[in-house]
Structure 1
Amino acid sequence: MTVWVGTSWKMNKTLAEARQYTSELLEGLDRLELGTVQPFIIPPATALSAVAGALVDDGRVLLGAQNAHWEDNGAWTGEVSVPQVADAGAQLVEIGHSERREHFRETDQTVRRKVAAVLRHGLTPLLCIGEPAEVREAGGSSDFILGQAARALEGLSAPELSRVLIAYEPVWAIGAAGRPAAPEELRSSFAALAGSFGQHTAGLLYGGSVAEDNAAALLGIPHVDGLFIGRAAWEADGYLRLLETAAATAGTPAAGRLSPDTNESAEEVGTK
């Protein structure tokens, strides 16, 4: 089973910083045995082509884009299309993050269109879903995230759905003000996702205040196939240590230990 471990840099890093991170990451990976762990990084759009050459040539780390429009081209000022991010080197596309839903008014309809566009061009969609605190407190987490996923994946064939990654990121657990979730708080949500989508998709990831001290426990939750990490992986050495933890948790001991100062049927199933 593939264990997906990735990070989005959000609106951070200059071109020089992106190149330095990539260099440190690839150097650090030379000292690790990843086994079944699949790393991926998602830089800002400005840095995609700057790091693509090194990553694609190396082949160990997938490269993603933080967003892409559902149309291939046109009068969409300020947007980038799936063909454009693919041309810059992207292999997957993050879609529907809660910050985009909140601040840029993305809807389930636009998220669905973006998922379809990413699949149409042969890239991997990383669909983000997650409930706000008030929904959790009311006991509606599972219904909320299942509804989000179903609306985003509506109409996809089984082969298309099998190429989708789902990242469950509770809104109350993400960002600088997020509260780290205890594993027992996440079990029912992952059980619900697994029941509807687990065997049909490429993987179910967890994101939300992931750090070195809780990564192993989060990966131990039934049905969790990987981690989507924020600020804990914004420095290459932190990301490398999280990859090491994931490799060990997946039963593949890391070949080298990183020291603390290392810089290292086309059946319609989408409405389930």
Structure 2
Amino acid sequence: MDEYIVEVQDLVKRYANLTAVNGISFKVKKGEVFGLLGPNGAGKTTTLECLEGLRRPDGGTVRVGGIDPQTDVRKLRKLLGVQLQNSSMPDSIRPSEAMELICAWHRIPPRRDLLNMFGLDPQSRKQYREMSTGQKRRLHLALALACDPAVVILDEPTAGLDVQGRAQLHEAIRRLRHSGVTILMATHDMAEAETLCDRVAILVRGRIATIGTPAQITSAGLGETRIILRTQKNCLLPGRDIGGARFVRQEEDYGTWLCRDAAASVVALLQEVQRAGDTVEDLRVERPSLEERFLELVERDAS
């Protein structure tokens, strides 16, 4: 049986008359990247804060490495690294000074190797206020890793980053996963979740609407697979329905079909091309995206 390092069971968290998290349950395996997705106010950050020990649950249980975040705070600090959604440091502090401070708190030698890993020169005299958003994000992630945590929580890790900064953070997350670190991340970036996460849970109004791998979640939706095809002689254009493939549009020499059974539909289209003595020049099969499935679940809840 797979060993789980994070366990959430029937978690409830209320703020006055608002139930932010309403009885959610999930488990995360060691070495897994697990994503929490949902619209604003769905309960993602509250769930993470309960795991971090920053919020006390009103019901249910949470465990990180078997530890109760509310009662075993000292053990939790050695096990868990956190990059908060909104975090800051004194304007005049330098990356090396910040690392020395955090490591002193953990009672370990300064981790200058982490500054090098994230492209933050330990000898740099740059102050925090002079750093770019991407540099600040990388610094906070480096600080979160100072104690070699088994579990890292990332709350909107790439929010506000440019393309280069996002790519650098994604590569850092992949390196962590390959080293065996378990990662929980909350994000609004569906493409990010689809690329990085082994499994995701989509939260809507404090409840888990669905949970599974990105492929499992998208395949369970109402969305149809797109088949985009171009042939040398345009034998399929102007388009028509073929087998289980429903023609939807033509753009220049490309035709687009929608279907539920991708394998059977692709075969039917290729057989038609072969019968016409034509040749395929370009063929693309695009399953529904995680973003499309996410919007489907959110809109269904709102209706």
What TM-score, normalized by structure 1, do the two folds share?
0.40
Max Rg structure: 2
| Greater strand content | 2
Higher RCO (Cα < 8 Å, 6 or more apart): 1
| Greater helix content | 1
